[in-house]
Amino acid sequence: MTNAVLHVADVHKSFGGLHALSDIDLQVMEGTTHAIIGPNGAGKSTLLNVCIGRIPPDSGAVVFDGKVITGKRPHEINQMGIVRVFQTPEIFPDLTLLQNVMVPAFAKRDGAFTLNAFRGADRETEIRDEAEHWLADVGLAGYKDTLAASLSRGDKRRLELAMGLIQHPRLLLLDEPTAGMSRHDTNSTIDLLKKIKERGMTKVIIEHDMHVVFSLADRVTVLAQGRIIADGTPEEVRGSAVVQEAYLGGTHR
């Protein structure tokens, strides 16, 4: 087995009296696609927020690539190579699609701050070409000069995916990447994610849609009430009695 890119080590988090996460110990292996599933309120989003430094854990630590990332600021975590794609699309509505994708490319190339005020952005042909390439990959090539605000919700999610992918992250965290998409769009997103998998990017996906999970995941972790109740290959998890009970007898809709 290859080495772990992300290690969530013994993390606890409670809000008031509510244990949102307890005893979470999780390893995400290099090059794999790791799905985290579970009923509503199981703590999936909290876990993701802990991973990107939005919420500090009460105890335990998140180790990425051998370095502790708990307590680091969001931009530092991004610069280390972790990119998150949000559940509700977070884009730059007042910029064009092309600019939306160029901005993260600059972050990747120039770091958290550079005063590059005297070189025309037009001359950055390398970055522009790459941005156009990723826009084409998510199927938005024809709209590169339109403002992002005018996109439909589904298109915004695809744009955000391109914004994440252009940074070639070591670890891509996807929060329900296909929520609210049509079946057709879901399938094209799955195809796109499979394509990146071939390039060896590690991904963590939080997802409700079992079709997506079982099409993509190499490994599945099941959360319920803030605890890990199962962890294994998709086949193992599918057959697990505990998981079936959590889903059928538990709080799931």
Partner 1 sequence: MTALRNDLIYLVVFAVAVLAMPIWLAPFGAAYPDLMQKFAIYGIFAIGFNILFGMTGYLSFGHAAFLGVGSYAAVWSFKLLSMNVIPAIALAVLVSGLFAAAIGYISLRRSGIYFSILTLAFAQMSYNLAYSVFTPITNGETGLQLALNDPRVIDRALFADAPGIPRPNLFGIELGGYEAFYLCAVILILCFFVAMRIDRSPFGMMLKAIKSNQTRMAYTGFNTRPYTLSAFIISGIYAGIAGGLLAVTDPLAGAERMQWTASGEVVLMTILGGVGTLVGPVIGAVVIKYFENIFSAFHMAKLEDIFSFLPDGLESFVVSIVSPFVGEGWHLTLGIMFMLIVVFLPGGLMEGARRIRARFGGGRGTGSKAHSSNPAPAE
- Site residues (vs partner 1, CB under 8 A): 52, 73-75, 78-79, 84, 86, 90-95, 99, 102-104, 106-108, 110-122, 124, 147, 149-150, 163, 167
Rounded to a whole number of angstroms, the minimum distance from the CB of residue 153 to partner 1 is 16
Taking the least distance from each CB to partner 1, the nearer of 130 and 231 is 130
- The residue length of the chain stands at 253
H/E stretch holding 6 reads strand 4-15
Taking the least distance from each CB to partner 1, the nearer of 128 and 219 is 128
Taking the least distance from each CB to partner 1, the nearer of 76 and 235 is 76
Taking the least distance from each CB to partner 1, the nearer of 17 and 120 is 120
Going by C-alpha positions, the residue among 205, 203, 197, 246 that lies closest to residue 223 is: 246
Quote the CA–CA distance of 180 and 158 in Å, as a whole number. Answer: 12
Pairing of strands 4-15, 59-64: antiparallel
Going by C-alpha positions, the residue among 30, 22, 79 that lies closest to residue 50 is: 22
Taking the least distance from each CB to partner 1, the nearer of 157 and 219 is 157
Q: Is 93 helix (H, G, I), strand (E, B) or coil?
A: coil
- Whether 90 and 160 have beta carbons less than 8 Å apart is answered as yes
Rounded to a whole number of angstroms, the minimum distance from the CB of residue 1 to partner 1 is 30
What letter would DSSP give residue 146? S
Say which amino acid occupies 130: E
- Whether 59 and 10 have beta carbons less than 8 Å apart is answered as yes
Rounded to a whole number of angstroms, the minimum distance from the CB of residue 80 to partner 1 is 9
Going by C-alpha positions, the residue among 221, 204, 228, 229 that lies closest to residue 60 is: 228
Rounded to a whole number of angstroms, the minimum distance from the CB of residue 229 to partner 1 is 30
Rounded to a whole number of angstroms, the minimum distance from the CB of residue 118 to partner 1 is 5
Six token digits for residue 72: 């680091």
What order do you get walking across the sheet with 33-37 strand by strand?
Answer: 82-85, 171-175, 202-206, 33-37, 219-224, 227-232
Taking the least distance from each CB to partner 1, the nearer of 95 and 179 is 95
Rounded to a whole number of angstroms, the minimum distance from the CB of residue 77 to partner 1 is 8
